[in-house]
Structure 1
Amino acid sequence: MRLLSTETLKLHEFYTDIPPYAILSHTWEKEDVSFQDIQNLETAGAKAGFAKVLNACRRARHYDFEWIWIDSCCINKESSAELSEAINSMYQYYEDAVVCYVYLCDVSLEVHLQHPNSSFRRSRWFKRGWTLQELLAPWDVVFLDKDWSKIGTRWSLRDLVSTITTIPVEVLEGQDISDYSVAQKMSWAAFRKTTRPEDQAYCLMGLFGVSMPPIYGEGSTRAFMRLQQEIIKISDDRSIFAWIAMPSDKHESRGLLASSPYEFRMSGEVKASVPEVLNDKSSYLFGNNGLRIHLPLEPTDSSRFGSDVFLGSLLCQSEKDGSYLSVYLRKTSGQQYVRCRVDELVLRSLPPAFDNVQELSVREKPVPRRVRSDKYLHMASSNTVLYHVELLTSARHFFCASNPHTTSVAEKGFAVVAVDANKSLCWLGPFMHDASLTYECMTTGKTFTIEFAGSWDPVYYNCTLQLCDKTFGDFSDPRMDRIVGQFDSGDYICVTRESRGDLRRRERSLHQSLEPISEKNVEISYIPKESPEANFLTHTLRPSHSGFMVPANLELSELELSGYQTAQLSGVFPPYFFVERFDNMAYVTAFHADGGEYTSNDDQFCILTYTESMWHSSFYVALGLQGSSAWIDIDFCQLEDGENPEAPEDIWKSYLSSGSRVEKRMEAKSSTWVGSLMASVERRTNLQLGSHLLRLQLPGTSLQDSTVRRPQRLQNLDTVRTI
C-alpha cells in the first residue's frame, strides 16, 4: 500500500512490513488533493483540500505517527487496476490502521451532540456508503469537528452513534459483526448514499468478507445482485432474502434477491436463519433458471390469494418477538416460482411445517470471515507501558499535587509515566513518585487521583479514577477509552485514552537500557455541571423497539377538502432523537433517553403536528402506549380571529396526569373520529420499524356526535380514501 509521510508529505510504497499508520475518514469536498496533486506540493497547496491533508498530518504527527493513509491522495484513481485493488482492500486498510481520524467538516459543537438538532446527528458522514466500513473496521475511531477539535471516540459516543446509524451498541463496543445476520448488516447501509451508484454494492464487500471486480457502468442493481451472489457463495444465512420492496412495487413479480440495500431498511431485527433444521437440504445455489433452494412451503387462503400462491418460510426469526418470517411465492409452472406481494414479509408466531420440503443439494462448508488484525496492539516486545498524561484546557485550573516542586511541568499540565509488568512505576523526567497522580484545584480544593497498574499484556493496561472516595472505571478493556467521575458538586472529570504510533521505532531509556515501549495518551478534561454536555454525559440513548409508523404526507386535495392541498408531518413533540422518514411514511417513538428533559413515568406518548401547505393551518395527533395498549387522539384546531394556537408542548402537557385531556389517554382508545376523518392505530402484522401503524382513513359517512373541535370545511365529505 502507499502511505503519506506526516513530516515531508511524500508518498512511499510498502509491500511488506507495513509500518504503523493512522488513517483518515472524511467526506469528499471540492478541490480535494489527488494522487497527481500531491506529487507537487506547490500544486497541492493551491487547492482548498490541502488544509485537510495538513491538519490530518499535524494531528497524526502530534501522536507520533510517521505515516498516514488518505484515500484522496494515496490512490491513483487513473489506474483502473490500482483502483480495483484499493476497493477490494479498503476494509483491510481501515482494519489494520492503529487509529482512524474521522473529520466531520460539517459539525460544530455549538449545540450539544445529543440534542436532536445537533450538527453531529445531521453530519453527511453518517449518510455516506463508504463510511460504514470506516466506522466499523478500525480498532480506534476518533471523531473531529470542523476545527479539528476532538469530539469523542466511537467507544465514548457509542450510544449516540448507535442511535444515528441503527448499528447496535454492542457492535460499536467491539462485538464481532459476524455474529449478526446478513439482513441486519444490510440494514445498517439502507439509508446510506454513494456518489457513484455501483458503490452502494462495492462499499459493502469488506463488511461481508467478499471480493469482486468493480465494473463501473453496470448500474447499482446489477452490482448489488453480484454482491449478493458472492455472499451466497460463503454463507447459507437465508436472512439475505428477508427484504421488502417499496409499496409502489407491490404488484411486481421478483426473485429472492433484493435490488438495493434500501430494501433491507426494515430488517434490523431479523436474526440469522437456522439451516440445520433442513440438514443436508440447507444449501442453495444459482443455476441458469434462477436460485435453487429448499424451502418449506405452505398453501395460503385460495379465496384471497389464489391457489397458486404459497408461503415460503425463510427459517429466520425476529429478535424482537421470535416471529417466523415468510415470503409469498407464486407458482408459474412445474417447480418454478416467483416472489409476489414483494412489499411484505409475513410474521407468524408458529414455526414452519417441514412436510413439503423437496430436492437434495450438497452443503459446502462456509468460508469464515478473516479475523480482525491486532498486530499493532502487540507490537511492543516489552511489558512496559508509557503513559502521556495531559490536562486539557478545560482542566488547567488543576495542578499536579503529587510533586508540587515541579512547577514548570505542572504549569504545562503534562507528565509521563512508565508502568512495567511488575506493577511498579517510575517517572521519566523530574518526577520520581508513586504509581498515582493526584490533582488539586487551588481555588475550590477539589482533588482527584489517577492510579496506574501494569500488565503482562501491554494491550490490557489499567487506569482508574478516584474522587470523593469513589473509584470510577478502568481501562482494562482495550476498547474502553473514557472514564467519567462526578464530584459532590455535580461537576465532572473525564479521563480519555487516545492511541499513539511508533510502537516499533520509539526507544526510551529505562534503567539505562533501550527497549521498545507501548505508549498510551491519557487526557483529562473538566466539565461543569451547568455545561450542556453535563446533561447528557451519563445518559445512554437506546432506541425503543416500541414505536409507530405514521404518514409523512397527506394528499388532502384529493379528499375534496375545500381550501386544503397537502399536509405534511412538520413536528414531533417531545423532540426525540430518532425520527426517520421514507416511503411517504415516518417512524416515530414516544420513548426518550433516560433523564431527558421531558421524561416522567406517564410520558409514553408524543404529539404529531401536521401542517397544511397552502394555509399553514395545523392539526395534531396524540399517539402513545398506555400499558400494553396503544391509544390515539386527534385535534383539528378551529380558531377564532385573534386566537393563538396551542403549542405542541402545551397539548402534550394536557395529556399528563394533571392535564385536561388525561381521560382520553387513560381510556386508551385505539381509534377516534374527527368529522368524517377516522384515525386508528393498530399492532403491526408485517415487518416494519416499531410495533404499531397509524392509519388515517376517510369513509363515506360522517359522525355528527364528534366531541373533538373541527373546522367547518371538514364536514360533508363523500370521498373514500385510505392514507
Structure 2
Amino acid sequence: MTDFQVKEFLTDIPRYAILSHTWEQEEITFQEIQNLDLAKSKAGFRKVLGACVRARRYHFDWIWIDSCCINKESSAELSEALNSMYQYYEDAAICYVYLSDVSGEYHPRNEKSNFGDSRWFKRGWTLQELLAPEFVVFLDKDWERIGTRWSLRDVVSAVTGIPADVFEGRDIDEYSVAQRMSWAAFRETTRPEDQAYCLLGIFGVSMSPIYGKGGVKAFMRLQQEIIRISDDRSIFAWVAAPPMAGLEEGWQNPYRDTPPVRIDKPRGLLAQSPYEFRMSGDVQASNVELIGNKSSYSFGNNGLHIHLPLDPASYSSGRFGEDIFLAHLLCRSTRDGGYLTVYLQKTSEDQYVRCYADEVFLTSSSPAMDNVRELTVREHLVTRRRVRSSDTSGAAESSMSRYNVELVHSAWDFLYQPSPHEGPGPFEVSGIDEHTVSVALDPSSLGVVQYKRPETGDSFGIILTHPRVGQPSLHISDETLIQGISIRGDTLLGGLNSGNYIMIVSERRGDSEEKIEIIYIGQDNPEIHLWTRPLRLPDLGFMVPSRVADSFDDLKFEGIFPPDPLGRITQDMAYVSVFRPHPDDPKECGYHTFRLLTYRWEDSGLDYIIHVAFGLQGSSEVWTDVVIQSPDCRESSEHVWKSYLDAGSRAQKRLQGEGFAKMVISIAGTISATARIQKTRNLQLGDYLLRLNVYRQ
C-alpha cells in the first residue's frame, strides 16, 4: 500500500481492508495504477490515496479497490471477479464505505442529514458490499467516520428496506428469495445485465457474465440458477408494473375522454427485473412440506414444470372465465398472514401462462391440497451454499489478544486510572502515549480499563475479554452495557452520572490488534438524542399513484409535502409513510401525521393543481380529502397542508375522519376528482392503497 503496487495472492492471503464506493469521473484502472505518474494525474487518484491513508492509519498493509484491482481487459479475470466479488468483501477484515456525496455535519438520524440520499444506497453493486463484510464503517466526503453499520443499523434499514436484524448477525440465507430480491428492487446499474450479476453472491450462485443480451435475459438466467439450488416458491411472488394509459403497451385508450381498456399481456412465472419484487419485502419462504415430494420443479424447453394447488378464480376473486385459475405459491405475507396466489390462464391441456401479472392476490385461508396439479407454465422470453471463511483476524489463533484503547480529543479530560492488579501475566497494560494504552490478555483473563474525569467526578470502565470468549463492554457506575456475545457489535453508548455520555467504538486493524476509541459527548450536544434514541419507524404506509392510469396523459405528479425521507417514488407508484403523534416528541411526529400529494394538469392553456390530503387522525382514523385549484386561485402545497391544521373547513375534515376514508369528490371548472383509501387483498407496499380518479366534466 505504501508504493501502490498491485499484487495477486492465490494462497496465504494477508489480512486486508476493502473499499466500497460509487464510480465517478476518472477512476483509476488496473492498467493506470501500474503507471503512478499517469494515475496521479487523474481525479480518481485522490480516492485511492484517501482509502490507503485510512487503511494505513489502522495498520493495514493491503487494501482491495475494485476499480484498480480488476483487469477488465481480461474477460476471464472479469468473470472470476464478478463471481467472487461477494467473497472478496466477506473475507475482508473491514470494509470502508466512502460516501463522496455525504457531509458528516449532521447525524444520520437528523432529517437535515443527506446520509440516506447518498447515491451509494441506490446502486446495484453496493448491495452486496453492504451485506457481505463482517465490519462496515461509513466515511463522509472528507474521509471522516459517520458511523458503522452496527451503530446505524436502524437508519440503514429504513433507507434500504433491509431488516435491521440482518445487520445484527442474522444470515441472509434465512430470508426468502423474494425478500432478498426486494432489497435490490430500487437499485440501478449502469449496464442492464449487472442487475442480475450484482446479486450472484447474495444467492450463492455462479454464472458467466454475458453482456449485450439485455437485462431481462440476464435476470432470467439468474433465476434459473437459483431454482437449481432452491425450491423456495417465493421466487414467483413478484408484481409486474401496471402499464399506463397511452404510455405503455398493454393499455388501449381509443377515446381520450373515456377510461382505458386493459389488454393483458401473458407472462411466465419468472420476473423480468428486481424491480418486480418491490412489493415482496414481507413475503416468507414457501412451506414446501405442504406439498411433500412434489415440491421440486424444473425447466424444460416448453417452460417451467411445477406442481401447484389450483382453484377456479371465479370462486375466490370475482374474476370470471373457465380458463382463469388461482395458483397457490404456498407462501405467506408477514404483514397480515395472507396466503399468496397468482393468476394463471389455461392455454391448452396442462399448459398455462400467468395473467394479471401486476397482481398477487392474498387469501385468508390456507390452500386446499386436494387439487394439486402438475402443469407447465410457459415463459415468453428467450448453488452452492455460502459459508463465511474462517476468521482472518489472526486474533482467534493467537494465545494473547491485544487492544489499543485511545481517548479521542473530546475525551482528553479523562485520566487513565491504573489498577493495582496490572502487571506481567494474563492481563497486562502498557502506555503508548498520554491518551493511549495497550492491553494484552489471554483467553482465561478478564481486564478492566478505568478512566475518571476529575472535573466532574465521572468515571467509567471498559471490560475487555479475549475474542474467543466475548466482546468488550462498557461499565459505568453500577450499569454494564454488554453487546450480545453472538452478535459482533462495534459501538456502545452509556450515560455518565453528570448527564453526559461516553461512546466506545471498536475498529479492526491490519496487525490483528483491535483499536478502541473513546468519545465524550456532552449533554448539551444538540444531536445527543439522535445517538441515544433509535430511529422511529412509521406507523402506517400508503401506496399512492405517481401517475393516474384511469385519467389522461398530461396529469403530472408534482411531489409530496412534507417531504418523506422514508418514502419512495417510482415509475408507477409512490410509497408514503405517516406517524402518529408521539408523547416523547409530539411536535416532530405530529408534523408527519398527514401528507399532501400534488398533481398538475395542463390542457388547452389551462393549468389546474390537484391536491390530495390523507393521513392519520387519533389512534386509528384514516382520512383523505381532495382540493382542486383553478388557474385563478392558486396556493402552494405547504399553504394547503397548513390549512388542515387551522380552524377552517379543511381542518374539520381531518378531525372528523372515521375509520377507512370514504370516497371524496372535488369539482372545479371542467374537471372533477375522487379519492378513496382502502385496504386491498393484493401484495403491495404499505398498509393502505389510495385510489385517485380524475375526470372531465
- Indicate whether the TM-score tops 0.5: yes
Deviation for aligned residue 1:418: 1.8
Partner of 1:193: 188
1:393 equivalenced with 2:409 (yes/no): yes
Query: Which whole-Å deviations, capped at 9, do the CAs of 1:198-220 have from their partners, x for residues lacking one?
Result: 11101101100000110111211
Deviation for aligned residue 1:651: 3.9
The verdict on how the C-alpha distance between 1:618 and 1:52 changes in structure 2, with shifts beyond 3 A counting, is same
Residues 557 and 598 in structure 2, CA contact (< 8 A), matched pair in contact too: yes
Query: Which whole-Å deviations, capped at 9, do the CAs of 1:338-384 have from their partners, x for residues lacking one?
Result: 000010000000111222223499xxxxx561221232145543332
The verdict on how the C-alpha distance between 1:541 and 1:670 changes in structure 2, with shifts beyond 3 A counting, is farther
Deviation for aligned residue 1:446: 4.7
Residues 556 and 566 in structure 1, CA contact (< 8 A), matched pair in contact too: no
Query: Which whole-Å deviations, capped at 9, do the CAs of 1:157-200 have from their partners, x for residues lacking one?
Result: 10000001000001111100110000000000001111111111
Give the 5 Å matches for 1:194-209.
194-209=189-204
Deviation for aligned residue 1:441: 5.6
The verdict on how the C-alpha distance between 1:598 and 1:289 changes in structure 2, with shifts beyond 3 A counting, is same
Residues 22 and 99 in structure 1, CA contact (< 8 A), matched pair in contact too: yes
The verdict on how the C-alpha distance between 1:642 and 1:23 changes in structure 2, with shifts beyond 3 A counting, is closer
Give the 5 Å matches for 1:438-457.
438-440=451-453, 442=455, 445-455=456-466
> What is the CA–CA distance in structure 2 between the aligned matches of 1:300 and 1:451, rounded to whole Å?
63
Query: Which whole-Å deviations, capped at 9, do the CAs of 1:576-604 have from their partners, x for residues lacking one?
Result: 43111123321111127978854689888
Q: CA RMSD in A?
A: 3.2
1:414 equivalenced with 2:436 (yes/no): yes
Residues 576 and 592 in structure 1, CA contact (< 8 A), matched pair in contact too: no
Partner of 2:329: 314
Which among 546, 571, 590 is matched to residue 583 of structure 1?
571
> What is the CA–CA distance in structure 2 between the aligned matches of 1:642 and 1:228, rounded to whole Å?
51
Query: Which whole-Å deviations, capped at 9, do the CAs of 1:257-308 have from their partners, x for residues lacking one?
Result: 0010010010011100011111111110000110000011111228843111
The verdict on how the C-alpha distance between 1:542 and 1:184 changes in structure 2, with shifts beyond 3 A counting, is farther
The letter of the residue matching 1:589 is S
The letter of the residue matching 1:292 is H
Query: Which whole-Å deviations, capped at 9, do the CAs of 1:671-714 have from their partners, x for residues lacking one?
Result: 32323432210112211101111112347xxxxxxxxxxxxxxx
1:143 equivalenced with 2:138 (yes/no): yes
The verdict on how the C-alpha distance between 1:215 and 1:601 changes in structure 2, with shifts beyond 3 A counting, is closer
Residues 459 and 478 in structure 1, CA contact (< 8 A), matched pair in contact too: no
Partner of 1:522: 516
Deviation for aligned residue 1:472: 2.9
Partner of 1:683: 679
The letter of the residue matching 1:470 is E
The letter of the residue matching 1:417 is V
Structure 2 SS opposite 1:296: strand
Residues 115 and 577 in structure 1, CA contact (< 8 A), matched pair in contact too: no
Structure 1 SS opposite 2:345: strand
For structure 1, which segment, 163-172 or 298-307, has the greater mean C-alpha deviation from structure 2 after superposition?
298-307
Query: Which whole-Å deviations, capped at 9, do the CAs of 1:41-80 have from their partners, x for residues lacking one?
Result: 1111111111111111111111111111111111111000
Structure 2 unaligned segments of length 5 or more: list them.
244-249, 251-262, 377-382, 420-429
> What is the CA–CA distance in structure 1 between the aligned matches of 2:200 and 2:188, rounded to whole Å?
15
Partner of 1:278: 291
Partner of 2:22: 27
> What is the CA–CA distance in structure 2 between the aligned matches of 1:229 and 1:10, rounded to whole Å?
40
The verdict on how the C-alpha distance between 1:572 and 1:214 changes in structure 2, with shifts beyond 3 A counting, is same
1:546 equivalenced with 2:540 (yes/no): yes
Deviation for aligned residue 1:18: 0.8
The verdict on how the C-alpha distance between 1:478 and 1:64 changes in structure 2, with shifts beyond 3 A counting, is farther
Deviation for aligned residue 1:396: 3.0
For structure 1, which segment, 616-625 or 643-652, has the greater mean C-alpha deviation from structure 2 after superposition?
643-652
Which among 307, 323, 330 is matched to residue 294 of structure 1?
307
The verdict on how the C-alpha distance between 1:46 and 1:643 changes in structure 2, with shifts beyond 3 A counting, is closer
> What is the CA–CA distance in structure 1 between the aligned matches of 2:399 and 2:646, rounded to whole Å?
63
Deviation for aligned residue 1:17: 1.2
Structure 1 SS opposite 2:516: strand
Residues 114 and 577 in structure 1, CA contact (< 8 A), matched pair in contact too: no
Partner of 1:357: 372
1:697 equivalenced with 2:686 (yes/no): no
Query: Which whole-Å deviations, capped at 9, do the CAs of 1:71-106 have from their partners, x for residues lacking one?
Result: 111111100001001111111111111111111111
Structure 1 unaligned segments of length 5 or more: list them.
1-5, 362-366, 426-434, 504-518, 560-564, 700-716, 719-723
Deviation for aligned residue 1:488: 5.0
Query: Which whole-Å deviations, capped at 9, do the CAs of 1:301-342 have from their partners, x for residues lacking one?
Result: 288431111111111110111111111100111111000001
Residues 128 and 202 in structure 2, CA contact (< 8 A), matched pair in contact too: yes
The letter of the residue matching 1:114 is R
> What is the CA–CA distance in structure 1 between the aligned matches of 2:441 and 2:162, rounded to whole Å?
36
Structure 1 SS opposite 2:392: helix
Query: Which whole-Å deviations, capped at 9, do the CAs of 1:218-260 have from their partners, x for residues lacking one?
Result: 2111111110000000000000000011101571101100010
- Return the TM-score normalized by structure 2: 0.86
Residues 544 and 576 in structure 2, CA contact (< 8 A), matched pair in contact too: yes
The verdict on how the C-alpha distance between 1:135 and 1:588 changes in structure 2, with shifts beyond 3 A counting, is same
> What is the CA–CA distance in structure 1 between the aligned matches of 2:46 and 2:611, rounded to whole Å?
49
> What is the CA–CA distance in structure 1 between the aligned matches of 2:636 and 2:122, rounded to whole Å?
39
The letter of the residue matching 1:350 is S
Structure 2 SS opposite 1:293: strand
The letter of the residue matching 1:694 is L
Which among 447, 467, 484 is matched to residue 476 of structure 2?
467
Structure 2 SS opposite 1:100: strand
> What is the CA–CA distance in structure 2 between the aligned matches of 1:357 and 1:236, rounded to whole Å?
16
Partner of 2:425: none
The letter of the residue matching 1:100 is C
For structure 1, which segment, 11-20 or 383-392, has the greater mean C-alpha deviation from structure 2 after superposition?
383-392
Structure 2 SS opposite 1:495: strand
The verdict on how the C-alpha distance between 1:479 and 1:592 changes in structure 2, with shifts beyond 3 A counting, is farther
> What is the CA–CA distance in structure 1 between the aligned matches of 2:210 and 2:638, rounded to whole Å?
56
1:568 equivalenced with 2:557 (yes/no): yes
Give the 5 Å matches for 1:220-259.
220-248=215-243, 251-259=264-272
> What is the CA–CA distance in structure 1 between the aligned matches of 2:557 and 2:161, rounded to whole Å?
25
Residues 308 and 375 in structure 2, CA contact (< 8 A), matched pair in contact too: no
The verdict on how the C-alpha distance between 1:616 and 1:523 changes in structure 2, with shifts beyond 3 A counting, is farther
> What is the CA–CA distance in structure 2 between the aligned matches of 1:557 and 1:340, rounded to whole Å?
23
> What is the CA–CA distance in structure 2 between the aligned matches of 1:341 and 1:627, rounded to whole Å?
36
Residues 163 and 542 in structure 1, CA contact (< 8 A), matched pair in contact too: no
For structure 1, which segment, 673-682 or 55-64, has the greater mean C-alpha deviation from structure 2 after superposition?
673-682
- Return the TM-score normalized by structure 1: 0.83
> What is the CA–CA distance in structure 1 between the aligned matches of 2:659 and 2:88, rounded to whole Å?
58
> What is the CA–CA distance in structure 2 between the aligned matches of 1:240 and 1:595, rounded to whole Å?
42
> What is the CA–CA distance in structure 1 between the aligned matches of 2:96 and 2:442, rounded to whole Å?
29
The letter of the residue matching 1:344 is E
Structure 1 SS opposite 2:143: coil
Which among 129, 133, 155 is matched to residue 160 of structure 1?
155
> What is the CA–CA distance in structure 2 between the aligned matches of 1:232 and 1:486, rounded to whole Å?
50
> What is the CA–CA distance in structure 1 between the aligned matches of 2:328 and 2:660, rounded to whole Å?
35
Which among 8, 15, 19 is matched to residue 13 of structure 1?
8
For structure 1, which segment, 94-103 or 484-493, has the greater mean C-alpha deviation from structure 2 after superposition?
484-493
1:483 equivalenced with 2:499 (yes/no): no
For structure 1, which segment, 302-311 or 192-201, has the greater mean C-alpha deviation from structure 2 after superposition?
302-311
Residues 569 and 611 in structure 1, CA contact (< 8 A), matched pair in contact too: yes
**Sequence identity percentage:** 49
The verdict on how the C-alpha distance between 1:378 and 1:544 changes in structure 2, with shifts beyond 3 A counting, is farther
Residues 630 and 682 in structure 1, CA contact (< 8 A), matched pair in contact too: no
Residues 556 and 567 in structure 1, CA contact (< 8 A), matched pair in contact too: no
> What is the CA–CA distance in structure 2 between the aligned matches of 1:475 and 1:388, rounded to whole Å?
22
> What is the CA–CA distance in structure 2 between the aligned matches of 1:687 and 1:360, rounded to whole Å?
24
> What is the CA–CA distance in structure 2 between the aligned matches of 1:65 and 1:484, rounded to whole Å?
27
